[in-house]
Amino acid sequence: MTYEEPNPILVQARRAIAGKSGPERVQVVLRAVEANRRWRGQECLNLLAPEALVSPTVRNLLSSELCQRAAEGEIGNRWFSGLRHIDEIEALCVELLKELFDSNYADHRLVSGMNGNMTVYTALTQPGDIVMSLPQPAGGHSSNRPDGPAGIRGLKVVDIPFDYDEMEVDLDRCLDVMRHVRPRILTLGASLTLFPFPLRQLREACDEMSCYLYFDGAHQLGLMVGGQFQDPLREGVHVMTGSSGKTLSGPQGGVIVWNDHELTRPLRSTIFPVIAATHMVNRVAALAVAAAEMIAFGQEYMAQIVKNAQALGVALEAQGFKVIGAHKGYTRTQQILVDVREFGGGYLNAERLATANVTVNKNLLPTDTPEYWDRPSGLRLGTTEVTRLGMKENEMSTIAGFIARVVVHKEDVERIAGEVKEFRAGYQRVQYCFDT
């Protein structure tokens, strides 16, 4: 579908509200919300890597009285009065984030992870500077590419060389390219990450070239603080951003942390007033609680996420799938990447699995070329949500069986959907939180 063609979902929505009174229109919206709550919240196995369940307390805070309040400016230096309690809430969030990441500085006001990318590029570069980042077949995200904040800032984007067999940065080639192009920022982190990055070696190279080393930890923040992935701040990155959702398991939004005092003024003056003004104080309170939960439960929770991802890789391979990175233990994160070219590709199978109440996302394989980008050859699976529901390695074998019946054996998806719903009924409570 092109932008010029009518969007059938919008057409359906116009029909649903046409000729109805105000209260009737409200009911149409509420029915859609309830349908999603019932299906996605109670009946589906959610294997989408970017999503995580939040605790009941975090959910309640998102609808608290704070959702009506605005808080422009810095803590203790606001543009309007009446914010003494909000100052307290935001200060608590900052201090909990600093403890969680063991960082000198943290900021809580980014309403998305991509706002973090824009903050770094705005604060630390000038238009025309060179930034090196991962290409999309290697897991690179648009936020660090020409069609995202890096490109909007007017930066020239150069690919970081990547070893597609090992699913790692090709360090020697990367150092050669760095010496040739002299980047202003070297950006690491990706929407698909299976194994750690050579951060210490890259920091040494950055120091030689007066280059910033930036880690976009959108997917990995929870794994890092849970001791299951590398620790970028300890390994030399200048600044790290990421999502407050995903593995961090808080509300949707962004986080930014750093240690160098010299970066404080450029980063904070970019966040406000350039990137964020009214930054959703209810989200800040929810983020503070999520940080406290991760301090208490992160080690156990994140360890189980990685165990589950590796167990899912083993189980899928036993079902006849080709799982990328199998020779290295499949993954060191919450994600696995599955090659489904011989079964019809990523798009078709993601749609069939959704009908069977299993949500995944289509994903590029390293060997995919641009013509495959809308209909890529792989599936990306994540174990964050199913882990927070209390599932462990044995359940991963059951999930792999459901996936194989849909993708490999082409069984009736409606029948499998009923079985998935029945299986999911036994896992309804959020774990690894103070509410449990």
> Do 423 and 43 meet the contact criterion of CB atoms below 8 Å apart?
no
Cα Rg for the chain, rounded, in angstroms?
A: 22
Average pLDDT over residues 410-433: 98
Query: Distance between CA atoms of 109 and 138, rounded to whole angstroms?
Result: 30
* Burial label, 422 (beta-carbon count in 10 A; 0-12, 13-18, 19+): exposed
pLDDT value at residue 327: 96
Q: Is residue 410's pLDDT more than 60?
A: yes
Q: Is residue 187's pLDDT more than 60?
A: yes
Q: Is residue 301's pLDDT more than 60?
A: yes
In Å, what is the CA distance from 49 to each residue of 186, 190, 337, 350?
A: 25, 12, 11, 13
Average pLDDT over residues 194-218: 97
* Burial label, 70 (beta-carbon count in 10 A; 0-12, 13-18, 19+): middle
Query: Distance between CA atoms of 365 and 377, rounded to whole angstroms?
Result: 6
Q: b/e for 43-61, b at 16 or more Cβ within 10 A?
A: bbbbbbbbbbbbbebbeeb
Query: Distance between CA atoms of 20 and 30, rounded to whole angstroms?
Result: 14
Domains located in the chain, CATH noted? 59-292 (3.40.640.10), 298-424 (3.90.1150.10)
Among 233, 238, 34, 201, residue whose Cα is nearest residue 123: 238
Query: Distance between CA atoms of 339 and 298, rounded to whole angstroms?
Result: 31
pLDDT value at residue 129: 98
Query: Distance between CA atoms of 420 and 436, rounded to whole angstroms?
Result: 24
Residue 234: φ, ψ to 5°: -70, -25
DSSP three-state, residue 301:
helix
List all residues 6 or more positions away from 70 whose beta carbon is below 8 Å from its beta carbon. Answer: 277, 278, 281
- pLDDT band at residue 369 under the 50/70/90 scheme: confident
Distance between first and last Cα of the chain: 45
Q: Facing residues of 162 across strands?
A: 169
Query: Distance between CA atoms of 124 and 110, rounded to whole angstroms?
Result: 17
pLDDT value at residue 370: 80
Would you tell me how many other CB atoms lie within 10 Å of the CB of residue 20?
12
Instruction: Check: pTM over 0.85? Answer yes or no.
Output: yes
- Between 101 and 78, name the one with better pLDDT: 101
Average pLDDT over residues 276-287: 94
Residue 291, both tokens: 């940080």
Average pLDDT over residues 355-361: 98
pLDDT value at residue 436: 74
pLDDT value at residue 225: 97
Q: Is residue 322's pLDDT more than 80?
A: yes
Query: Distance between CA atoms of 239 and 116, rounded to whole angstroms?
Result: 10
Q: Is residue 4's pLDDT more than 70?
A: no
Mean pLDDT computed over every residue of the chain: 96
147-186 pLDDT, tens digit per residue, is 999 999 999 999 999 999 999 999 999 999 999 999 999 9
